[in-house]
Structure 1
Amino acid sequence: MSTLNIVLSIITAVFVGNVILAAIVVFFERRNPASTWAWMFVLFFIPVLGFFIYLVFGRNSSKQKVFEEKTANDKKTLFKYVDDDEELAERVVMQAFSNDGIGLGKEYKYLYDFATLNINSGSWLTYYNKMEHFTDGVQKFDSLISDIENAKHFVHLEYYIFRGDELGKRIIDALADKAAEGVEVRVLYDYMGNRTLPKNFFKRLTDAGGQAAAFPVPPFLRINCRNHRKIAVIDGVVGYVGGFNIGMEYLGMVKRFGFWRDTHVRFEGEVVAQLHIRFLMDWNYSSNDRIEKNSYYFPKYKCKEYLPAQIVCSGPDTQWRNVKNSYFKMINEAEKTILIETPYFSPDDGILEALRVAALSDIDVRIIIPAHPDHPFVYWASMSYLGELLEAGVKCYQYETGFIHSKTVYIDGIVATVGTANMDIRSFGLNFEVNAFIYDPKTVRMLEEDFYNDLKECTEITKEWYYARSRSFRFKEALSRLVSPML
């Protein structure tokens, strides 16, 4: 066989392989059309490399199978937790079939609508809670370390990023000191998010009796399917959730980012148990040291302050895209205002259309993204989506004072969400996420003040500015938009 024939045979084999793979993408993966066309583009125009990119980033079916066992175990754990508490079981049943919000004010309708929606994610509505919120990393970590130092029974942390810098060492020192006192300490961190962390970083903690585990996924999925959650639970009484990871940049002390603007909340009350049961399920998946549900880990803590809230989780280990569905419902139920802060804005078609319809309905829709992004690719993709929304009347802004990492949505001054999920396709379907939803108007208005204060540090993205962007900007934007839906 001549060299030419050999080359032609190889080219033919590659072409046939691409056709077969493209057929799998189109017919078997059940993707949305935007994602399908993005992968078709990669497979046909980058024949060999595209195949390996697809293996790493694109196989939805393999992602689902990998986490089937975790999903099943999580459901058993959750059902057992509810069934063991007769009062809670009765409340969950009532919320699942309640129509008590009908005919009441908007505030109460939100309560019952979202209670019903999020029952499907295993999240019931809690009523009695106390909340403190942080926009500054120094204050947040001072508070967390103080709670760690005051721990009597256990400290459980779950963080996407745990830097080996001054702050990371400060946290480890506090945890090791408590472990040496006999307090149970467990740290769960994402494998991929901490791939550069020194292997002996947790040695002081483990030598003192504490434990550390990496959230594992099979090699092909390590780039995707990241555990993006940030949870801290102390003694089952105090719980933290929000956007801050553990590292000096989150204190605003890394020159590249400058001032770091984020949002995190600290809870006491009923909702802490929901944060803790999520930690328990993730820990039991990642560690051989299984935690069994009992009164030691879930003490009865009575909070007298009325603040309705619930914790909503989503990811490859949940049946539904719970956080995304909640965002979608919030936007569709809005009557006056929709305020969004997100470092990464790459929504799917449903969220994009909901925002556009809201603006066309004369609802005040405002979105803040960073002016100085950490990922330029995401920034250019974000601009393509914002450009569409500008036409519908959405007001878009770039935060100029450092980097804004806050992941928040506020609706009508009545309902708010603070958590780890960005307004992007990755957070909607690939990452493991956790958000707190808050239904107290007084608290929501307090949180909204942060948004309006941030506007003072922003430059508005006007139609004039957007239409005047350079050709190179437009090219980067178009390319980034094309591949952004790839799941």
Structure 2
Amino acid sequence: MSSPRASLTHLLARAQRLVGWVATAVLSAQVAVMFVLSVVDVIARRKRKVRKFPTVPPSEIDLGTDRVTVYTFGEDLYADMLASIESAEEYVYFETYIWKGDEVGQAFKDALVRAAGRGVRVHVAYDVFANLVVPQRFFDLPDSIHVRRHPLVGSLLPLPRNAGRNHRKLLVVDGDDAYIGGYNIGSLYADRWRDTHARVQGPAAAEIENAFVDYWNMRPLGLFPKAASNQLESPTGRDWNASLEVHRNTPRWQVYPIRNMYLEAIDKADHHIWLTHAYLIPDDDLTNSLFQAAQRGVDVRIIVPDKSNHVVADWLSRGFYDELLSKGVRLFLYQGAMVHAKTATIDGHWSTIGTANLDRLSLVGNYEVNAEWRVPAVAQKLEEVFESDLANCVELTLDQWRRRSPLAKLTESFLAPWRPVF
């Protein structure tokens, strides 16, 4: 005859097994739902027509010693980036997350090869995971080009210091010509996606160059196992009063300043906060900061895609809509094309353009880089871009949102536990 203690132990063991089975079943069901949503979205996107969207022509903003150009159309940006590479005399630093092996990608590859062929020092960095679907022979570059491939998997320990994708997009030419923003490299992004990039010409370009150099020279605990043979010199003579500041999220250092940059700027706002983001999955501190701004009368507006290129991210993002709308934040859904920009402009004084989305992967996970300006001329240019984008948006009201189907509400709730992962 078993003792009461043995019976209790047996019951606890059975309960633990039951909890494990239930948890496994729920997890499997969530993964299955995400898989089905993704498959359905892929099929739907094949039939979806991309229409023309409004853009703002690039024009130089004179900041005295520096000039800034804001790009909202890929073809304009790529033409200038390629021209910069072709004009390089000393060095080219090129870093991208996605580098497609299509016509646009080949144009960049050819320009970099030509630059190296005429004696220019060319350094290239790209993320392996982001380019798994690209034929790997495309990345066969001549030995004259120095290449850093951010690996699919670094050393397994210690985490999270060795985790994170290289989600950055930079180009630096000869120290005084630099580009930063959301554009990856590929034909899709040239004319079918709405993104934002900036060009910085002048002494402030050194701030972007320094971000590249620090990444290149980094040795993150086995992430780049080979010994450094081509360390880069950091730019000298950087101005303490540069027209921009560059913020870098660096998992190796466990430093994530971009999130704090947003929190500080939002907290200071007293008139308007206009954000454009591809994926909106903010943490509690960011949402509360936006709520507090709206409560003190700040005009808080966010542009997001009506349908992004990641359907699961869309469903996770929608879980925030009810609270955002009910607390005074206005949401605008971009129509007919993917808006991939990561920008903000506040009070006509502050602005940022960069690679970080408002989600956990960007703000506390990936290698990211954002440029910050406290210059009215740049902020006002981004206001012009925001207003142009609004012409291609439909505002989502709280009443409209609450009338969505019960199935949609159930799906959002069912997938909600995955929000911290994205």
Q: TM-score range by the shorter chain?
A: 0.7 to 0.9
**Aligned residue identity for 1:129:** D
* Structure 1 residue 166 displacement after superposition: 0.9
Of residues 183, 192, 195 in structure 1, which corresponds to 2:132? 195
* Structure 1 residue 200 displacement after superposition: 2.1
Q: Give distance in 2, aligned partners of 1:212 and 1:12.
A: 54
Aligned residues of 2:302 and 2:330 also touching (Cα < 8 A): yes
Q: Give distance in 1, aligned partners of 2:295 and 2:326.
A: 9
Q: Closer, same or farther in 2 for the Cα pair 1:430/1:337, shift >3 Å?
A: same
Partner of 1:337: 272
Q: Give distance in 1, aligned partners of 2:328 and 2:361.
A: 26
Q: Give distance in 2, aligned partners of 1:288 and 1:130.
A: 38
**Aligned residue identity for 2:402:** Y
Partner of 2:405: 470
**1:278-317 superposed matches below 5 A:** 278-284=211-217, 285=219, 286=224, 288-292=227-231, 294=233, 298=235, 308-317=243-252
- 2:24 paired with 1:46: yes
**Aligned residue identity for 2:298:** I
* Structure 1 residue 245 displacement after superposition: 0.4
**1:373-452 superposed matches below 5 A:** 373-452=308-387
Of residues 115, 128, 151 in structure 2, which corresponds to 1:178? 115
**Aligned residue identity for 2:326:** E
1:164 aligns to what SS in structure 2? coil
Q: Closer, same or farther in 2 for the Cα pair 1:238/1:261, shift >3 Å?
A: same
* Structure 1 residue 147 displacement after superposition: 0.3
Aligned residues of 1:269 and 1:301 also touching (Cα < 8 A): no
Q: Closer, same or farther in 2 for the Cα pair 1:13/1:244, shift >3 Å?
A: farther
Q: Give distance in 2, aligned partners of 1:483 and 1:213.
A: 32
CA RMSD of aligned residues (A): 3.0
**Aligned residue identity for 2:142:** T
Q: Give distance in 2, aligned partners of 1:419 and 1:43.
A: 43
Structure 1 portions without partners, runs of 5+: 1-7, 20-41, 54-125, 253-258
- 2:190 paired with 1:251: yes
Partner of 2:168: 229
1:311 aligns to what SS in structure 2? strand
Q: Give distance in 2, aligned partners of 1:43 and 1:248.
A: 46
State percent identity of aligned pairs.
33
Aligned residues of 2:216 and 2:232 also touching (Cα < 8 A): no
Q: Give distance in 2, aligned partners of 1:475 and 1:327.
A: 32
Of residues 144, 154, 169 in structure 1, which corresponds to 2:106? 169
Q: Give distance in 2, aligned partners of 1:486 and 1:14.
A: 28
Q: Give distance in 2, aligned partners of 1:387 and 1:144.
A: 41
2:394 aligns to what SS in structure 1? strand
Aligned residues of 1:14 and 1:47 also touching (Cα < 8 A): no
* Structure 1 residue 129 displacement after superposition: 2.6
Q: Closer, same or farther in 2 for the Cα pair 1:290/1:281, shift >3 Å?
A: farther
Aligned residues of 1:237 and 1:301 also touching (Cα < 8 A): no
Of residues 281, 297, 309 in structure 2, which corresponds to 1:346? 281
1:317 aligns to what SS in structure 2? helix
Partner of 1:130: 67
Q: Closer, same or farther in 2 for the Cα pair 1:43/1:151, shift >3 Å?
A: farther
* Structure 1 residue 300 displacement after superposition: 5.8
Q: Give distance in 2, aligned partners of 1:314 and 1:325.
A: 11
Aligned residues of 2:207 and 2:238 also touching (Cα < 8 A): no
Aligned residues of 2:344 and 2:382 also touching (Cα < 8 A): no
Aligned residues of 1:237 and 1:269 also touching (Cα < 8 A): yes
Of residues 188, 194, 207 in structure 2, which corresponds to 1:261? 194
Deviations 1:411-470 (A, max 9, x none): 101000100000111111111100000111022101111001111100111112101101
Aligned residues of 2:71 and 2:198 also touching (Cα < 8 A): yes
TM-score normalized by structure 2? 0.80
Aligned residues of 2:331 and 2:396 also touching (Cα < 8 A): yes
Q: Closer, same or farther in 2 for the Cα pair 1:151/1:308, shift >3 Å?
A: same
Q: Give distance in 2, aligned partners of 1:352 and 1:212.
A: 39
* Structure 1 residue 237 displacement after superposition: 1.5
1:409 aligns to what SS in structure 2? strand
Q: Give distance in 2, aligned partners of 1:43 and 1:272.
A: 56
* Structure 1 residue 12 displacement after superposition: 5.3
2:208 aligns to what SS in structure 1? helix
TM-score normalized by structure 1? 0.70
- 2:196 paired with 1:218: no
Partner of 1:206: 142
Q: Aligned pairs, how many?
A: 369
1:206 aligns to what SS in structure 2? coil
1:226 aligns to what SS in structure 2? coil
